[in-house]
Amino acid sequence: MTRKYGLLLKVDVESGKILESLHDSTGRVADITTAVEDGRGHLLMGSDANYYLAKLKL
């Protein structure tokens, strides 16, 4: 059995270069599949498999 691990990458859309990464070694947010910056200093994270939207202050 594999352990859950959350990993989120910020990627430059033009160059494909990884700009930043966030790691969750506890696996608490491993089911997040989509994330977007809201333009107000927060990262919104969600998934079609979850019934919530997570908000992280950057």
pLDDT digits (tens, 9 = 90+) for 7-55: 888 888 899 999 999 898 998 776 777 888 899 999 898 888 878 888 9
Its pTM stands at 0.60
Q: Can you give the pLDDT at residue 8?
A: 83
Q: What are phi and psi of 35, to 5 degrees?
A: -145, 145
Q: For residue 1, is pLDDT > 90?
A: no
Q: Can you give the pLDDT at residue 52?
A: 83
Q: Can you give the pLDDT at residue 2?
A: 80
Q: And the tokens for 30?
A: 């491993």
Whether the CB-CB separation of 19 and 13 falls below 8 Å is answered with: no
